[in-house]
Amino acid sequence: MLFFKKSSGFNELGFKRLVERIKKWEDYSETAYYDPPNSKRLSWGYGTLAPKNALKDKLTISEEEAERELIKYLKNVTLKDYAKIEKKYPFTINEVRKEALCDMLYNLGYTRFKKFKLMLKWFYNKREDDWHFIAAEALDSDWYKKQCKKRAERISYELDTGEFKKE
Q: Does residue 144 surpass a pLDDT of 80?
A: yes
The stretch 104-125 carries a mean pLDDT of: 91
- Quote the CA–CA distance of 47 and 37 in Å, as a whole number: 12
pLDDT at 138: 92
Q: Tell me, what DSSP letter sits at residue 83?
A: H
Phi, psi of 77, deg, nearest 5 = -125, -65
Q: Does residue 65 surpass a pLDDT of 60?
A: yes
Residues paired with residue 34 on neighbouring β-strands, in sequence order: 42
pTM: 0.89
- Domains defined for the chain, CATH in brackets: 12-161 (1.10.530.40)
Three-state DSSP at 45 gives: strand
pLDDT at 4: 42
Task: Give the residue, 10 or 28, on which the prediction is more confident.
Answer: 28
pLDDT digits (tens, 9 = 90+) for 76-109: 999 999 999 888 887 788 999 999 999 999 999 9
C-alpha distances in Å from residue 45, one per residue of 15, 130, 150: 19, 36, 21
Buried b (16+ CB within 10 A) or exposed e, 33-49: eebeeeeeebbbbbbbe
- Quote the CA–CA distance of 135 and 157 in Å, as a whole number: 7
C-alpha distances in Å from residue 57, one per residue of 32, 47, 49: 10, 19, 15
- Please provide the DSSP assignment of 96-155 as one string: HHHHHHHHHHHHH-HHHHTT-HHHHHHHTTS-TT-HHHHHHHHHSSHIIIII-HHHHHHH
pLDDT at 6: 43
